[in-house]
């Protein structure tokens, strides 16, 4: 009677695929977000300038689609990164950070939806009669300011997530410690930069440095996940570092023997007074 061959390990295959997907998503997210930033006009508070720029732009809606793609890629990368923290305090920090990132991602998607609608308002303003332009301008200004507020909230929450990511990396042994320290520097720069941006141009520069460091962290995490996927010995079926079962067994037996030694000595003393 022929014996069926054992089925291949699906969990191991999925782990390698997820690590590759997460690594690719992290690196592509940086490229896509940089592209979206270059397509966005400066938000200097000049509503008239912004509405004219957007009305004349033929790629404004496309810019927001690019931004949305960047958000989706970061979400995928973060989901896989969170999965790699499997135990101890690193796992707890990763769980806390995941909740913060969900809120940040939600605000980011809301910003995309509102920002995309500004093209319709700007086009309406461009072709409206002089008596109707004021109403289009007021609606545009409200939507434009909403995108600024949503962007502010998303980046503040992102900075808090980066702080928890730094804690997870530094308390675990999954990623290089320099990635954790880079995250620890990026988080306060991004947070303080967003707060200072409300009152001083210096905040913009600080925020840019924070964002660049976040991009460095994403690239480092992406490359690390890709290398882990290419080296099966670095992780087990769940993507975690494999245990040395023989070594653990020997150490456990040794500890038991040491614990039993006083008991055996006492029994010997009782039997041989």
Cα(187)–Cα(195) distance, integer angstroms: 13
Q: Do 215 and 89 belong to one domain?
A: yes
User: Residue 253's pLDDT band (boundaries 50, 70, 90)?
Assistant: very low
Cα(161)–Cα(107) distance, integer angstroms: 14
pTM of the model: 0.74
- Which tens digit of pLDDT belongs to each residue from 163-209? 999 999 999 888 999 999 999 999 999 999 888 877 777 888 888 89
- Which tens digit of pLDDT belongs to each residue from 171-183? 988 899 999 999 9
The tokens describing 57, both together, are 């732009």
DSSP letter (8 states) at residue 5: P
Instruction: Give the structural domain span for 147.
Output: 10-242
Cα(19)–Cα(227) distance, integer angstroms: 9
Q: Do 189 and 62 belong to one domain?
A: yes
Look at the chain and report how many structural domains it folds into. Answer: 2
Q: Do 238 and 251 belong to one domain?
A: no
Does residue 3 lie in a domain region? no
pLDDT at 254 over 70: no
Does residue 114 lie in a domain region? yes
How remote is the C-alpha of 92 from its chain's centroid? 16
Q: Do 204 and 252 belong to one domain?
A: no
CA angle at residue 100 from 33 to 192, to 5 degrees? 70
Please report the pLDDT score of residue 216 as a whole number: 94
- Which tens digit of pLDDT belongs to each residue from 46-81? 777 888 888 887 778 888 888 899 999 999 999 999
Does residue 154 lie in a domain region? yes
């Amino acid at each position: 009677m022929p014996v069926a061959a054992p089925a291949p390990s699906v969990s191991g295959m999925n782990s390698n695929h997820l690590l590759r997907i997460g690594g690719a998503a992290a690196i592509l997210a940086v490229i896509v977000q940089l592209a979206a930033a270059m397509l966005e006009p400066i938000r200097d508070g000049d509503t008239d300038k912004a509405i004219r720029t957007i009305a004349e732009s033929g790629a404004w809606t496309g810019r927001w689609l690019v931004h949305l793609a960047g958000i989706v890629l970061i979400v995928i990368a973060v989901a896989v990164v969170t999965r790699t923290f499997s135990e101890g305090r690193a796992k707890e920090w990763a769980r806390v950070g995941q909740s913060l990132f969900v809120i940040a991602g939600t605000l980011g998607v809301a910003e995309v939806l509102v920002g995309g609608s500004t093209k319709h308002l700007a086009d309406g303003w461009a072709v409206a009669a002089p008596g109707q332009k004021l109403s289009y301008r007021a609606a545009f200004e409200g939507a434009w300011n909403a995108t600024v507020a949503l962007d502010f909230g998303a980046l503040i929450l992102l900075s808090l997530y980066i702080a928890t990511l730094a804690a997870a990396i530094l308390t675990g042994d999954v990623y290089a410690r320099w990635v954790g320290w880079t995250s620890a520097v990026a988080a306060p720069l991004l947070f303080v930069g967003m707060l200072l941006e409300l009152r001083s141009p210096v905040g913009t520069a600080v925020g840019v440095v924070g964002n660049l460091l976040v991009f460095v962290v994403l690239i480092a995490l992406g490359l690390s996940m890709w290398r882990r996927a290419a080296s099966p010995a670095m992780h087990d079926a769940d993507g975690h570092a494999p245990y040395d079962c023989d070594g653990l067994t020997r150490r456990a037996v040794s500890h038991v023997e040491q614990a039993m030694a006083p008991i055996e000595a006492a029994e010997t003393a009782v039997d041989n007074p």
